Amino acid sequence: MKKLLILFVVATFVSCETKTIEVEKSGGVWHMGGDEQFPEGTSPKAVIGSESDLEIAMAFYSAYGDMELDKMVELSEDVVKFHPGDMAGVVDVDTSNTDFVSERQSTFKSIKRTMHNVTPIAVEGSENYTVVSINFTEEIEHKDGSSSSQHYFERIHVVNGKVNRVVQWMRPWE
């Protein structure tokens, strides 16, 4: 009887098939250049971006929070397009120096950033372009003793290993 039971259990396990589950590796629609870029209404799909571009964006993010402006310059192209969350328009930031960021941080004593999530997204087929989306809270202690806190959604564009665009959206945290 034991042999029959063992034979039945072994036959059951041997006859089980391995179930393969396919995972979608790309999706969405990419309209970075507007509808003119893809006149037929199609676009390449979005995929998870490269780990090296993610590391560059995270180093840039950290350098701002740590007030290491020279490191930001090192990680950037010669000009970075900056879309600030606190004002309209786009600013072409000359990153051959730290003047722009120094001015923005001139009243800061310290910056504390709390990251909530990070997602690197790339265009299908691209090997040199990643947009890293970062959701975070920023608390600033000013030199005059006051403080402020904001919640940000920021997209850092990394092209050919350098940051070339930063787009921010923000709202008050408290």
pLDDT digits (tens, 9 = 90+) for 1-41: 666 556 555 555 556 666 666 565 788 776 655 555 555 55
Other Cβ atoms less than 10 A from the Cβ of 122: the count is 23
Other Cβ atoms less than 10 A from the Cβ of 134: the count is 21
- Using CA atoms, how far apart are residues 34 and 10, in angstroms rounded to an integer? 60
pLDDT digits (tens, 9 = 90+) for 64-111: 999 999 999 999 999 999 999 988 999 999 998 889 999 999 999 999
Per-residue model confidence (pLDDT) at position 25:
78
Do 44 and 123 contact (CB within 8 A), yes or no?
Answer: yes
Do 64 and 73 contact (CB within 8 A), yes or no?
Answer: no
pTM of the model: 0.79
Do 46 and 31 contact (CB within 8 A), yes or no?
Answer: no
The secondary element (H helix, E strand) that includes residue 69 is helix 69-75
What average pLDDT does the segment 118-143 reach? 92
CATH architecture, range 43-172: Roll (3.10)
Whether the CA torsion 102, 105, 106, 111 is positive or negative: it is negative
161 secondary structure, DSSP code: T
114: tokens are 């709390």
Burial 55-79 (b: 16+ CB within 10 A, else e): ebbbebbebbeeeebebbbebbbee
Do 98 and 75 contact (CB within 8 A), yes or no?
Answer: no
Per-residue model confidence (pLDDT) at position 161:
95
- Using CA atoms, how far apart are residues 64 and 110, in angstroms rounded to an integer? 11
What residues does each domain of the chain span?
43-172
